[in-house]
A = this chain, B = another copy of it.
C-alpha cells in the first residue's frame, strides 16, 4: 500500500520527518557509533536525549518552574492507579465520568480510596461535558479528576474547571499538545504518548511539586512519583527509544510554530470534517456541537450495514482505521497533530462521493 491516512485512535500517525530522522539515526546516533536503543541509560549520550525531551516538552507546554515532568512506563492505565496511590490523603476523590476512559479511571481509583462520581455525563451517553460547579465537589476531596478529551465519545472540555484548593488532575492522553493549556490550573496532568506525542511505551506526567510527598509505605517504588522525581525518571531503565521519539515529536511541534499554531491547524482540520457531517444526510456526529473534540470525530450513519460498507470502502482508498469503538459503534476519525490536512480533505471527498453513490439506501 502507498501512503495511507491512518485515523486510528492511537497509536496513530507520526510526522513523516520524525520517522525519517529516526530511520537515519537508527544505526549510528550522532557520532556515537551506537543506536539509541543500545545506549546505556546512564550514559552521557542518553542523558542528553532524556533531558532534551523534557526541556522541549516544558517549553512547548509552557510548564511553570514549580512543576516536575516525569517520563514513565505503564500507560494511562497505570496512572489510573498511581494517581490515587500517590495523592491519597483524606482517602476520597471526585471523578467526572464523561466517557469510557474516565469511567475506567474511576473504577481503578476505587480500589484505593472512596470515589465520588460528580459532574458526569452518562445520562446523555457521554455526548456533552457538564457545566462546572465547584459546589458539586466534596469538601475533603484529595483531588478532582477529569479527562480533557474523550477519545471514544468525541467530546472535550472547552473550559478548564477552577478547583481552587482542590488539586485538578487531568488525563490528557488524547489531546496533549493539540491545544494550549494553562498548566498552572492543574495539580497533575498525565498523557500516554501514543496518540499525540510519540509512540507507545512512555507516559508523561506533569506534577506540581507540592503534590510530591513521601510515599506511603506499601507503595511500590516503581509507582512512586517521589521516587521517579528524585531520580529524574531514571530510577530504573526508562523506555529510552519511546522517549527519543517523543523528543523528536516535540521538536517537530516547536519547529512548526508551537502548540498555538498546531491548535489553529487542528481547529481548521476538525471544521472541515464537522462541516461535512453537518451537511450530510446519511452521517451525523454524536457529540453536542459545543463540546466537539478536535481530535476524535465520532459519527454514525443510518445503519450498521452502511457503517460497515463505508469503513471497508474507505480502507481500500487508504483511509484506514475508521471503525468506531465497540461501545458506540459507527465511525471515528482520530485526527491528531500528525494527521495532515490532505488526509482530512481526502476523507471528506470520499464521504461526499460515498453519500452520492449511496443516496438510495
Footprint of B on A, CB under 8 Å? 1-4, 6, 8-14, 16, 19-20, 22-23, 26-27, 31-35, 37-41, 43, 73-78, 80-81, 85, 108, 111-112, 192, 194, 198-202, 217-223, 235-242, 245, 318, 321
Contact = CB atoms under 8 A, between A and B. Distances in A.
Contact of A11 (B10, B23, B39, B75): B39
Nearest to A242: B201
A73 B76 contact: no
Nearest to A203: B73
B33 A11 contact: no
A32 B75 contact: no
User: Oligomeric state, in number of copies?
Assistant: 2
Contacts of A202: 201
Contacts of A112: 218
Given A41-B11, A201-B73, A240-B11, A81 B33 contact: no
Given A23-B26, A75-B222, A218-B112, A200 B33 contact: no
Closest 6 CB pairs of A and B: A81-B220, A201-B239, A4-B33, A8-B40, A37-B199, A1-B33
8 contacts: A11-B240, A33-B318, A75-B237, A81-B221, A81-B222, A108-B222, A200-B241, A201-B202
Given A40-B12, A80-B220, A26 B26 contact: yes
A40 B239 contact: no
Nearest to A321: B40
A150 B361 CA distance: 68
Given A11-B39, A11-B237, A40-B321, 6 more contacts: A10-B40, A11-B37, A11-B40, A19-B27, A73-B74, A201-B239
